[in-house]
A = this chain, B = another copy of it.
Protein backbone atom coordinates (compact mmCIF):
# COMPACT_ATOMS: atom_id res chain seq x y z
CA UNK A 1 0.00 0.00 0.00
CA UNK A 2 1.47 3.35 -1.04
CA UNK A 3 1.41 6.40 1.21
CA UNK A 4 -0.94 7.98 -1.30
CA UNK A 5 -3.44 5.15 -0.78
CA UNK A 6 -3.47 6.00 2.92
CA UNK A 7 -3.99 9.66 2.10
CA UNK A 8 -6.89 8.71 -0.19
CA UNK A 9 -8.51 7.00 2.80
CA UNK A 10 -8.16 10.31 4.71
CA UNK A 11 -9.78 12.03 1.73
CA UNK A 12 -12.93 9.92 2.12
CA UNK A 13 -13.57 11.56 5.50
CA UNK A 14 -12.77 14.99 4.11
CA UNK A 15 -15.25 14.56 1.26
CA UNK A 16 -18.00 13.40 3.61
CA UNK A 17 -18.20 16.77 5.33
CA UNK A 18 -17.27 18.85 2.26
CA UNK A 19 -19.64 21.70 1.54
CA UNK A 20 -17.77 24.02 -0.81
CA UNK A 21 -19.19 22.54 -4.01
CA UNK A 22 -20.32 25.84 -5.50
CA UNK A 23 -17.13 27.92 -5.44
CA UNK A 24 -16.29 29.88 -8.59
CA UNK A 25 -12.78 29.51 -10.10
CA UNK A 26 -11.62 33.17 -9.74
CA UNK A 27 -9.99 33.68 -6.32
CA UNK A 28 -12.28 35.75 -4.08
CA UNK A 29 -9.40 37.78 -2.61
CA UNK A 30 -7.70 38.41 -5.99
CA UNK A 31 -4.34 37.29 -4.69
CA UNK A 32 -1.75 34.69 -5.66
CA UNK A 33 0.60 33.34 -3.00
CA UNK A 34 4.00 32.05 -4.16
CA UNK A 35 5.84 29.98 -1.58
CA UNK A 36 8.12 27.02 -1.00
CA UNK A 37 7.03 23.36 -1.24
CA UNK A 38 8.46 22.84 2.28
CA UNK A 39 6.45 20.32 4.34
CA UNK A 40 6.51 22.65 7.36
CA UNK A 41 4.40 25.31 5.61
CA UNK A 42 0.61 25.28 5.29
CA UNK A 43 0.05 28.63 3.55
CA UNK A 44 -3.74 28.37 3.60
CA UNK A 45 -3.92 27.92 7.38
CA UNK A 46 -1.02 30.26 8.10
CA UNK A 47 -2.73 33.12 6.25
CA UNK A 48 -6.25 32.33 7.44
CA UNK A 49 -7.42 31.70 3.88
CA UNK A 50 -10.74 30.06 3.09
CA UNK A 51 -11.25 27.65 0.24
CA UNK A 52 -11.77 29.79 -2.87
CA UNK A 53 -9.76 32.81 -1.63
CA UNK A 54 -6.37 32.62 -3.33
CA UNK A 55 -4.18 30.90 -5.86
CA UNK A 56 -1.28 29.07 -4.25
CA UNK A 57 1.85 28.43 -6.29
CA UNK A 58 4.62 26.36 -4.69
CA UNK A 59 8.03 25.09 -5.77
CA UNK A 60 11.44 24.45 -4.24
CA UNK A 61 12.36 27.73 -2.56
CA UNK A 62 9.30 29.72 -3.62
CA UNK A 63 11.48 31.05 -6.44
CA UNK A 64 10.17 33.00 -9.45
CA UNK A 65 10.75 30.78 -12.48
CA UNK A 66 9.31 30.70 -15.99
CA UNK A 67 6.72 28.25 -14.72
CA UNK A 68 5.69 30.57 -11.91
CA UNK A 69 5.40 33.45 -14.37
CA UNK A 70 3.27 31.20 -16.62
CA UNK A 71 1.03 30.45 -13.66
CA UNK A 72 0.79 34.11 -12.59
CA UNK A 73 -0.17 35.19 -16.12
CA UNK A 74 -3.02 32.65 -16.10
CA UNK A 75 -3.94 33.77 -12.57
CA UNK A 76 -4.16 37.41 -13.65
CA UNK A 77 -5.35 37.27 -17.25
CA UNK A 78 -7.94 34.53 -16.90
CA UNK A 79 -8.84 34.60 -13.22
CA UNK A 80 -8.51 38.23 -12.19
CA UNK A 81 -5.86 38.32 -9.44
CA UNK A 82 -3.91 41.56 -8.97
CA UNK A 83 -1.71 40.89 -5.98
CA UNK A 84 1.29 38.58 -5.54
CA UNK A 85 2.95 37.64 -2.25
CA UNK A 86 6.30 35.85 -2.46
CA UNK A 87 6.94 34.02 0.81
CA UNK A 88 10.32 32.45 1.51
CA UNK A 89 10.98 30.81 4.88
CA UNK A 90 13.58 30.31 7.58
CA UNK A 91 15.67 27.10 7.63
CA UNK A 92 14.98 26.60 3.90
CA UNK A 93 16.79 23.65 2.32
CA UNK A 94 17.68 25.97 -0.56
CA UNK A 95 20.13 27.77 1.74
CA UNK A 96 22.04 24.54 2.41
CA UNK A 97 23.55 23.38 -0.89
CA UNK A 98 25.25 24.56 -4.07
CA UNK A 99 24.45 23.58 -7.65
CA UNK A 100 27.79 21.75 -7.83
CA UNK A 101 27.03 19.63 -4.76
CA UNK A 102 23.61 18.59 -6.02
CA UNK A 103 24.88 17.89 -9.55
CA UNK A 104 27.62 15.67 -8.08
CA UNK A 105 25.04 13.77 -6.00
CA UNK A 106 22.83 13.26 -9.07
CA UNK A 107 25.80 12.00 -11.07
CA UNK A 108 26.64 9.57 -8.27
CA UNK A 109 23.09 8.36 -7.46
CA UNK A 110 21.40 8.42 -10.88
CA UNK A 111 24.37 8.50 -13.26
CA UNK A 112 22.81 11.52 -15.00
CA UNK A 113 24.68 14.62 -16.11
CA UNK A 114 22.76 17.53 -14.57
CA UNK A 115 25.41 20.13 -15.37
CA UNK A 116 22.90 22.18 -17.38
CA UNK A 117 20.45 22.47 -14.49
CA UNK A 118 20.20 25.42 -12.12
CA UNK A 119 18.47 24.31 -8.92
CA UNK A 120 18.18 27.94 -7.76
CA UNK A 121 19.77 27.64 -4.31
CA UNK A 122 20.41 30.96 -2.58
CA UNK A 123 22.42 32.40 0.29
CA UNK A 124 20.35 35.48 1.20
CA UNK A 125 16.59 35.94 1.43
CA UNK A 126 16.85 39.64 0.59
CA UNK A 127 19.08 39.09 -2.44
CA UNK A 128 17.05 36.24 -3.91
CA UNK A 129 13.74 38.06 -3.31
CA UNK A 130 15.18 41.13 -5.02
CA UNK A 131 16.37 39.00 -7.95
CA UNK A 132 12.99 37.27 -8.19
CA UNK A 133 10.97 40.49 -8.17
CA UNK A 134 13.27 41.92 -10.83
CA UNK A 135 12.65 38.81 -12.91
CA UNK A 136 8.89 39.08 -12.43
CA UNK A 137 8.75 42.76 -13.38
CA UNK A 138 11.25 42.24 -16.20
CA UNK A 139 8.99 39.68 -17.84
CA UNK A 140 6.54 42.44 -18.75
CA UNK A 141 3.81 39.85 -18.28
CA UNK A 142 2.20 41.14 -15.08
CA UNK A 143 -0.60 43.71 -15.00
CA UNK A 144 0.80 47.20 -14.38
CA UNK A 145 -1.18 47.71 -11.17
CA UNK A 146 0.02 44.48 -9.51
CA UNK A 147 0.96 44.76 -5.83
CA UNK A 148 3.98 42.53 -5.09
CA UNK A 149 4.96 41.83 -1.47
CA UNK A 150 8.04 39.83 -0.41
CA UNK A 151 7.82 38.09 2.96
CA UNK A 152 9.39 35.41 5.14
CA UNK A 153 7.66 32.63 7.09
CA UNK A 154 9.36 31.52 10.29
CA UNK A 155 9.04 27.71 10.52
CA UNK A 156 9.74 27.84 14.25
CA UNK A 157 7.03 30.35 15.18
CA UNK A 158 4.52 30.18 12.31
CA UNK A 159 4.89 33.94 11.96
CA UNK A 160 5.12 35.74 8.59
CA UNK A 161 6.70 39.16 8.22
CA UNK A 162 7.18 41.43 5.24
CA UNK A 163 10.70 42.03 3.97
CA UNK A 164 12.09 45.41 2.98
CA UNK A 165 14.23 44.90 -0.09
Contacts and interface: CB of A to CB of B under 8 A. Distances in A.
Interface residues of A, number: 90
Contacts of A59: 57, 59, 67-68, 70-71
Given A11-B159, A14-B48, A70-B120, A4 B147 contact: yes
Taken together, the copies of this chain in the complex come to: 2
B47 A42 contact: no
A110 B73 CA distance: 11
A30 B39 CA distance: 10
A101 to B, nearest CB: 9
A62 to B, nearest CB: 10
Contact of A102 (B47, B73, B102): B73
B110 A140 contact: yes
Given A11-B48, A11-B159, A37-B57, A97 B78 contact: yes
* Highest count of chain B CB atoms <10 Å: which of A15, A38, A51, A58: A58
